[in-house]
Amino acid sequence: MQVGRWNHQSTSNTTNYSRPAGKQFSRSPSRSGGYSGSRPSFGSRGRAPSRGGNRGGFGSFGTTEAEISKFMNRAVVTTEEPVFVPEHTFADFDINEHLKKNIIARGYEAPTPIQDKTIPHALLGQDVVGLAATGTGKTAAFLIPLIDKVMKQKGERILIMAPTRELAAQTEKELAGFAKGLGFRGMVAVGGTNIGPQISQLKHDPAFVIGTPGRLKDLIERKALDLSGFGTVVLDEADRMLDMGFIDDMRLILGKMKKERHTLFFSATMGKEIERLIGDFLTSPVIISVKTRDTPSSVDQDVVRIPRGKDKFEMLVELMNDRDFNKVLIFGRTKYGVEKIAKDLSRRHIHAESIHGNKTYSARIRALDAFKTGKVGALVATDVAARGLDIPAVSHVINYDLPSTYEDYIHRIGRTGRASLKGRALTFVQDR
């Protein structure tokens, strides 16, 4: 873990993380679960898949054997990682007593690393750059100090920008839990839904406005959202917002806020564009990094070799018929492909739902809730739609289509093996 100060001319306070080559191992096509014969082959060597068609396509990561090796890494089962001992407890923080009770009521016992390091600086009003992956507790790391800020500073208003509708809704749900009974409200401003009710909610001056850049920009242009009175902003998963092409919208939105503002900035990666954004919009921020490794040690990673002439979907069906595959998140590359996989699985009596950009917001939330509650055993998603989702107890992640980048791969497999649970990640690799 690192804590440092930001210098726009130098990145000496940040850490460069190299990509591990990944532990290579061999596994027999026959597993204890009974996979044999035409069953999928795990980890066996083969020719690199071709670029194009349904073998990954241009721009895919995993089209060479060196890249494929990064999809194979045994979960750590014999070596325990060092136990994090926080410097603080939630009771230590100088925050509203009712808020403390809400934190306890939500089952929070001790701060996670990102919470332990971020909350004290945020309470002091310092700008913070948090380098942390999804699943590290960063939502609470910014909500807890900002709820306290709203309680103590009359008229304080908070803007939270998120890359996707689901992440925005999830953040608002967390806010509602922490702020229960405290006498203020938050609202969600996202696309894919009727803008009218959002405009009506803004007339009540909610303390927290949580939205995606596109819809926030739309509300600003309609003069329904005036950011001149907002003194605090959170940029959540900023790297993903940049990947999605929101850089101009982000700059426009930040430019509408107070020049003297409090900014909390969270990203899983630190690229050149991220550095520029930090240099332009944050003031002497504290840099907090809780990244320890690229891929979680709790996730057993392997590849499923698709022999030439074998249908990839049939391989997926064979896997899904195994009882161990009880809560499976399947990643595809395209909206059409994701929808087709979900429908085809359902036709084979494997209950599945899909989330992607062509679905309405309400339909995506229904699909997500069905998966979370166990009504369906599989959720098929595109990378964008699944960004930032917090889904408990995912047993397996299946990369049905290759990820575009290694960073996307890391994000995908981070959906499983969360908290104290072990998970499995399988990547389909089609041989020529």
What pLDDT, in 10s, does the model give residues 197-212? 999 999 999 999 999 9
Confidence of residue 61 (pLDDT cuts 50, 70, 90): confident
pLDDT at 224 over 80: yes
pLDDT at 319 over 60: yes
Give which of 144, 142, 12, 72 is closest to 426, Cα–Cα. Answer: 72
* Cα–Cα distance, 230 to 217 (Å, whole number): 15
Choose the weakest-confidence range: 2-11, 128-137, 230-239.
2-11
* Alpha-helical runs (H) found in 127-194: 138-152, 165-178
**How much of the chain is helix, strand and coil, in % rounded to 5?**
35, 15, 50
pLDDT at 154 over 80: yes
Instruction: Count the Cβ atoms, other than its own, within 10 Å of residue 66.
Output: 11
Confidence of residue 6 (pLDDT cuts 50, 70, 90): low
* Cα–Cα distance, 287 to 113 (Å, whole number): 13
* Cα–Cα distance, 219 to 275 (Å, whole number): 28
| pLDDT at residue 42, rounded to an integer | 52
Q: How far is CA 51 from CA 56, 287, 426, 431, in A?
A: 6, 39, 20, 11
Q: How far is CA 23 from CA 17, 41, 250, in A?
A: 17, 18, 39
pLDDT at 342 over 90: yes
| pLDDT at residue 1, rounded to an integer | 59
Residue with tokens 């204890």: 32
* Alpha-helical runs (H) found in 229-382: 238-243, 247-255, 272-281, 312-320, 335-347, 361-372
> Distance between terminal CA atoms of the chain?
43
| pLDDT at residue 294, rounded to an integer | 54
Q: To 10 degrees, what angle do helices 247-255 and 272-281 make?
A: 10
Beta bridge partners of 247: none
* Cα–Cα distance, 214 to 244 (Å, whole number): 11
pLDDT at 318 over 90: yes
Beta bridge partners of 160: 210, 234
Q: At 69, which amino acid appears?
A: S
Instruction: Count the Cβ atoms, other than its own, within 10 Å of residue 423.
Output: 23
pLDDT at 189 over 50: yes
Give which of 361, 355, 341, 420 is closest to 384, Cα–Cα. Answer: 355
Quick one: CA dihedral 96, 87, 289, 283, positive or negative?
Answer: positive
Confidence of residue 153 (pLDDT cuts 50, 70, 90): very high
pLDDT at 58 over 70: no
Helix (H, G, I), strand (E, B) or coil at 330: strand
pLDDT at 330 over 80: yes
pLDDT at 215 over 90: yes
Helix (H, G, I), strand (E, B) or coil at 375: coil
More confident residue, 77 or 163: 163
Choose the weakest-confidence range: 26-35, 219-228, 375-384.
26-35
Percentage of the chain modeled with pLDDT above 90:
51
Confidence of residue 48 (pLDDT cuts 50, 70, 90): very low
Q: Which domains does the chain have, with CATH numbers?
A: 23-75+297-430 (3.40.50.300), 90-289 (3.40.50.300)
Token pair, residue 427, equals: 């990547």
Token pair, residue 419, equals: 């908290």
More confident residue, 380 or 12: 380
Q: Please, are residues 392 and 374 in contact by the beta-carbon 8 Å criterion?
A: no
| pLDDT at residue 266, rounded to an integer | 93
Confidence of residue 82 (pLDDT cuts 50, 70, 90): low
| pLDDT at residue 357, rounded to an integer | 81
Q: How far is CA 148 from CA 133, 210, 228, 367, in A?
A: 24, 17, 21, 34
Confidence of residue 405 (pLDDT cuts 50, 70, 90): confident
pLDDT at 240 over 80: yes
Q: To 10 degrees, what angle do helices 138-152 and 113-123 make?
A: 20
More confident residue, 332 or 9: 332
DSSP code at position 410: H
* Cα–Cα distance, 19 to 392 (Å, whole number): 27
Maximum mean pLDDT: which of 130-139, 216-225, 307-316 = 216-225
Helix (H, G, I), strand (E, B) or coil at 304: strand
* Cα–Cα distance, 111 to 87 (Å, whole number): 9
Across all residues in the chain, what is the average pLDDT?
A: 82
